[in-house]
């Protein structure tokens, strides 16, 4: 075959390829446009980076699930002993997805306080504001603590581990957020009640709320950890009644 014929054949072949390629490109573009307009999950997933969740209905629910698992692990293991990667593994998602919702552990802790602990704090404040009688306030607070511990199994162990314990991760953050103003105001209110004779003068106001937490949260935390294997009859209502009985009557059932 001559050089001229070879060149002509190649030219024809190239022309054919270009002619056939153009219609395919047009069809592909048309199909892609239609698909994007339909907004299918497959196309959305294809254009996202690996690990980044698809924006579909239920994404907010995924965030709630991850936060809930994080809180449970923090209560069981402690904040310092739990990484974002471990939370992701427990949730069955990638570490990238965990970081998509919570940029860092500091961010996660801020969300935990705002969305989990702050509503509980509001309930505590409401329990104190229903009456001016300090004894009724403390009884209401004790019952509210137990009720919260029942509704949220993570609350008592997390509070004992990360707030009441010296050096707890949440303790510092809560003090930075609220300071000691509300606590000191309540302590002063208890001191005035002692001066008025409506509260036992033998009590130390600084220790009253701490003692109340010990009466309610500590037993709930122990029950949650199943450390009362020989006392299955102890229930949340029993803990509340026990705390109230100690508040009102003490061990001897009479005034000292």
Residue 39, helix vs strand vs coil:
coil
Cα–Cα distance, 206 to 218 (Å, whole number): 18
Q: Is the dihedral of CA 77, 90, 148, 128 positive or negative?
A: positive
Q: What is the pLDDT of residues 138-163, one digit of tens each?
A: 899 999 999 999 899 999 999 999 99
Cα–Cα distance, 37 to 242 (Å, whole number): 64
Residues in contact with 176: Cβ distance below 8 Å, sequence separation at least 6, in sequence order: none
Q: Which two tokens stand for residue 194?
A: 């002692």
Mean pLDDT of the 14-40 span: 39
User: Smallest Cα–Cα separation from 212: which of 182, 233, 245, 243?
Assistant: 243
Lowest-pLDDT range, 26-30, 182-186, 239-243?
Answer: 26-30
Q: Examine the pLDDT at 9 and tell me if it is beyond 80.
A: no
Residue 232 pLDDT: 53
Lowest-pLDDT range, 54-68, 120-134, 197-211?
Answer: 54-68
**What are the backbone angles phi and psi of residue 21, rounded to the nearest 5°?**
-70, -35
Burial grade of 150 (CB within 10 A; 0-12, 13-18, 19 or more):
middle
């Amino acid at each position: 075959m001559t050089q001229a014929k070879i060149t002509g054949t190649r030219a024809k072949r190239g022309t054919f390829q270009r002619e056939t390629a153009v219609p395919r490109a047009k069809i592909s573009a048309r199909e892609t446009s239609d698909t994007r307009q339909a907004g299918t999950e497959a196309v959305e997933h294809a254009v996202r980076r690996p690990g980044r969740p698809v924006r579909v209905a239920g994404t907010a629910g995924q965030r709630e699930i991850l936060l809930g698992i994080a809180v449970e692990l923090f209560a069981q293991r402690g904040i310092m002993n739990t990484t974002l990667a471990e939370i992701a593994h427990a949730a069955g998602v990638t570490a990238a997805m965990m970081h998509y919702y919570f940029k860092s552990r500091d961010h996660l802790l801020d969300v935990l306080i705002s969305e989990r602990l702050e509503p509980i704090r509001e309930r505590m404040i409401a329990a104190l504001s229903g009456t001016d009688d300090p004894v009724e306030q403390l009884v209401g607070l004790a019952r509210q603590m137990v009720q919260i511990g029942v509704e949220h199994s993570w609350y008592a162990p997390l509070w004992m581990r990360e707030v009441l314990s010296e050096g707890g991760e949440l303790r510092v953050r809560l003090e930075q957020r609220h300071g000691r103003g509300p606590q000191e105001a309540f302590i002063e209110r208890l001191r005035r009640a002692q001066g008025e004779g409506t509260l036992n003068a033998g009590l130390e106001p600084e220790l009253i709320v701490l003692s109340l937490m010990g009466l309610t949260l500590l037993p709930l935390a122990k029950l949650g950890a199943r450390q009362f294997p020989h006392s299955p009859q102890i229930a949340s209502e029993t803990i509340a009644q026990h705390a109230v009985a100690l508040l009102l009557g003490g061990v001897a059932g009479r005034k000292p």
